[in-house]
Amino acid sequence: MAQPSSCAQSSNGVADESPNMLVYRKMEDIIARMQDEKNGIPIRTVKSFLSKIPSVFSGSDIVQWMQKNLNIEDQVEALHLGTLMAAHGYFFPISDHVLTLKEDGTFYRFQTPYFWPSNCWEPENTDYAVYLCKRTMQNKARLELADYEAESLARLQRAFARKWEFIFMQAEAQAKVDKKRDKIERKILDSQERAFWDVHRPVPGCVNTTEADIKKSSRMKQPHKTRKSVYGLQNDIRSHSPTHTVTPEVKEPTEDELHDQIQHCQEQLDRHRLKMSKVAESLLSFAEQYLEYDPFFTTPEPSNPWISDDVTSWELEACKEAGQQRVKRWAFCFDEVMKDPVGREQFLKFLESEFSSENLRFWLAVQELKKRPIREVPTRVQEIWEEFLAPGAPSAINVDSRSYDKTTQNIKDPGRYAFQDAQEHIYKLMKSDSYSRFIRSSAYQELLQAKKKVQPQNRPRHTHASLLCMKFALNVKMVFHNDIKIQREIKMFHSLLSRT
Amino acid sequence: ERERERERERERERETLLSSANLVFLVEMAAQEVASQPSDTLTTLKTESETLKTKLEEERAKLHDVELHQVAEKIEALGQFVMKTRRTLKGHGNKVLCMDWCKDKRRIVSSSQDGKVIVWDAFTTNKEHAVTMPCTWVMACAYAPSGCAVACGGLDNKCSVYPLSLDKNENLAAKKKSVAMHTNYLSACCFTNSDMQILTSSGDGTCALWDVESGQMLQSFHGHAADVLCLDLAPSETGNTFVSGGCDKKACVWDMRTGQCIQSFETHESDINSVRYYPSGDAFASGSDDATCRLYDLRADREVAIYSKESIIFGTSSVDFSLSGRLLFGGYNDYTINVWDVLKGTRVSILFGHENRVSTLRVSPDGTAFSYARLLVNWSGSHSVITPL
């Protein structure tokens, strides 16, 4: 539901968070709620065969909780959000490398805050090598390397061939430390460590949530806070990738900038504003008026080309004849006539009939001027001046004295906006005067009433007179012949007649 | 007697001590005053600016007599929308970062992370032109109004124009024309209603208007305090304004003729990734990393609607309106597209994409379809109308 608009936040006191951190915080808020003792997801230890599975909850537990607590009506949406949270590593399936959420009895576990993405992890390949190596040392079925992990290990062995002894030593040391831990604790920690690597070295084909948008990462706030090593290794690789240049996030404003801000605010204070009720009515009536032209609500005539594979509606739009629906639009506002090339043409014709076409021609010429390359501007300005405004101009237009004086000044140093004041004056004139007469004119009304054009056919066209003759001849035939063939002919003839 | 004397002595001592302490204190204070002299002006200016901003918000709030969704209660609610993919354009080797429709309603130009810019006839799904830029991350691309050229740029800090020739064998790259030069990445570009002028926005915090033929800067627009990420031209025929959004959470409306910021709005809580005008030109929508889309009306001079949900926590990367302005399509960083009823403020549909963040979402010029990121989604003609009880 739409909420009432909030006040502007001061950029001074509040700690500015980078866009990524904003999302992490939101997910972490949800996790905190999920872990709440009273209202969160029930976490339990499950007995399985000879062992216990500690600290788990099921996929359906998660989905149910989300639907109840996060105002989510649709199960699909809950699964989607849950999968995203899993993909970021906030909770994970205990027996799968692929981080998704399934609504069934699959067991999930929460990730330890140490490994949360908000800690700005960017683990190096040396750490990954230590981890994979360590896994091969531990003789547990559940710690066996998956195919893609074995491949990665082989690759890393080749890449770090010279360092491998060092990496092996680290892995051994880590494995020793792990062995000393309590069995249950180990199970949990091992799974959390694996989930961490599933985020930072995902299964091939899975979404990599650690990919950053270059526009955001190039403004990284605190690059020194990036954690690069999980196992305490030093690396001689450069500490920052090319995208992480240390640039200040939001510069402190200078005195001049503050003066500009103050001036801007003061100007804004004097602005004339409309009441919300009026604005709302205007937005509503616009949407209503254009609903019949919106292909998302009304199928275009004859069809939506993307659905029917038929480009007729585009061809109709491009041709010179305007259909009734298109003509109707011109009456909505002056801008609609001016936007449509056929509308402009018709309006020009009408003005010519009133001997005031120079207004529109001037307006069009100035629009054209603004579209030209800057090099051509001075010449064009002169030409327009000569044609429309100079004393004795062939297509003299009537502008108020103020605009005329300003324009006279402007053309001494001709720029694209030399005729701005005159153009605005003429536009207002056409809008308030000629336009309303155009809409009420018989020419426009005729276009509006025009029946839909008959589609050009391969059938030969008959004139009404020739049809009457044929009818007479057939009637004569009918009197004298009761032939079936003749009857068929007559039937065909009648259908022809009704179609024209 | 001696006791009293000693007492008086002690008192005098204490007094002198206290007074000397005071003196030291005063001296220290004076020193601090002198030291803080240069930042005083900045602080007073800052306070003045903040006070004015608060006053402006108060003025704006005075005319807020009703909410948009309240006024919209009298109109029918929209039914659920069903949408269907009609075309899929495959050919980019990497993330598609930007795309733009041609005025002929069927052609598209798209640019990607690997530096490729491709022109498609989306209707037939044929690739018509392709060029490889010398830089990666081509974040901006635009189709010229005539359909005879495209503009693009990104990490090269430039905006270049490529004229499109009918001769398929001609090497596009040879005819490349460098137009805009910024001091940081190019985030967005857009032709004005002519092939001869381009409007650009950049990570250097400015926007600029350029003459394509000469490469001359016609106007620059300063006022954002951080990277400018997006822009959109006002749809009016007499239009001389455009809106921009940036990492400073501000959306600014500019006068192209004078370079002045006419109006500004600062209600988002994070970067503004996308801005689009409402079809009438009286309002515009913005999409931000704070996971909301907002509608700002230029006549009311304030934010008039927020489109958000508790379950939507990922940022909006791109927004666009349907032709009537009744629908707002939002592409999000959680791989979904949410469709909002602009007037009532409710969500009417959600599309799940599974591959990547939705980077750019654009409705075609005649509103018959919209396209986003790697997949082209065109809308199917069915929807159900549900009447309220």
> What would the pLDDT profile of B71-81 be if each residue is shown by its tens digit?
999 999 988 77
pLDDT of B80-131, one tens digit each? 777 877 877 777 766 788 899 999 998 999 988 888 899 988 888 888 999 9
Look at B366 and A424 and tell me if their CB atoms are within 8 Å: no
Q: Chain B: nearest CA to A488, how far in angstroms?
A: 41
């108060």: which residue's tokens? Answer: B58
Compute CA B10 distance to the chain's CA centroid, rounded to the nearest angstrom: 72
Distant-in-sequence, close-in-space partners of A117: CB < 8 Å, separation ≥ 6: A20, A24, A88, A89, A199, A209, A210
Of A142-151, A292-301, B9-18, B95-104, the range with the lowest mean pLDDT is B9-18
Mutation pick from A220, A263, A275, A294 vs chain B, by most beta carbons of B within 10 Å, is A294
pLDDT of residue A459: 41
pLDDT at A13 over 60: no
CB contact under 8 A, B314 and A275: no
**In contact, A121 and A72? CB cutoff 8 Å:** no
User: Given an 8 Å threshold on Cβ–Cβ distance, is B303 in contact with A287?
Assistant: no
Confidence of residue B171 (pLDDT cuts 50, 70, 90): confident
Residue window 17-56, chain A: list those with CB within 8 Å of chain B. 17, 19, 22-23, 26-27, 30
A117 touching B (Cβ < 8 Å): no
Quote the CA–CA distance of B336 and B354 in Å, as a whole number.
Answer: 8
Q: Note the pLDDT of residue A214.
A: 78
> Chain A contacts of B211, Cβ < 8 Å?
373-374
Tell me, yes or no, if B12 comes closer than 8 A to chain A by beta carbon.
Answer: no
Q: How far apart are CA A45 and CA A52, in angstroms?
A: 7
pLDDT of residue B379: 26
- Please choose, from the candidates B327, B258, B276, B138, the residue with its C-alpha nearest in 3D space to the C-alpha of residue A416: B258
Q: What is the DSSP letter of B277?
A: E
Considering CB atoms only, which of A84, A253, A297 is closest to B324? Answer: A297
Q: Which residues of B touch A207 (CB under 8 A)?
A: 335, 355-356
Cβ neighbours for B215, distance < 8 A, ≥ 6 positions apart: B177, B178, B179, B180, B181
Q: Tell me: the pLDDT tens digits for A272-327? A: 999 999 999 999 999 999 999 998 888 888 888 888 888 888 888 888 778 888 89
Confidence of residue A496 (pLDDT cuts 50, 70, 90): low
Q: Is A310 on the interface with B (CB under 8 A)?
A: no
Best mutation target, A5, A263, A272, to test chain B (most B CBs within 10 A): A5
* Cβ pair B72:A274 closer than 8 A: no
Q: Which of A265-279, A465-479, B356-370 has the lowest mean pLDDT?
A: A465-479
**B246 close to B228: Cβ distance less than 8 angstroms:** yes
The residue ranges of DSSP E strands in B71-216, in sequence order, are 84-87, 96-101, 107-112, 116-121, 126-132, 140-143, 149-153, 158-163, 177-181, 186-191, 197-202, 207-211
Please determine, for the modelled complex, whether the ipTM score is greater than 0.85: no
A331 CB-near residues (< 8 Å, 6+ apart): A439, A444, A448
Res. B318: pLDDT tops 50: yes
Q: Give contacts of A 263-302 with B, CB under 8 A.
A: 264-266, 268-269, 271, 273-284, 286-291, 293-297, 299-300
Least confident range of A78-82, B116-120, B373-377: B373-377
CB contact under 8 A, B238 and A427: yes
In the stretch 434-493 of chain A, residues with CB closer than 8 A to chain B read none
Q: What is the pLDDT of residues B234-260, one digit of tens each?
A: 998 887 999 999 999 999 999 999 999
- Answer whether the bond into residue B163 is a cis peptide, omega within 30°: no
A243 — pLDDT class (breaks 50, 70, 90): very low
In Å, how far is A2's CA from the nearest CA of chain B? 4
Name the percent of chain A lying above pLDDT 90. 46
Do A274 and B86 count as a contact with CB atoms less than 8 A apart?
no
Size of interface A-B (CB pairs under 8 A): 310
Q: Looking at residues B350-363, what average pLDDT do you find?
A: 74
pLDDT surpassing 90 at residue A471: no
Residues of B in contact with A78 (CB under 8 A): 311
Interface of B with A in 41-100 (CB under 8 A): 41-42, 45-46, 48-50, 52-53, 55-57, 59-60, 63-69, 71-72, 75, 81, 86-87
Is B135 within 8 Å of chain A by CB? no
**Is a pLDDT exceeding 70 seen at residue A490?**
no
Cα Rg, chain B, nearest whole Å: 28
pLDDT at A12: 35
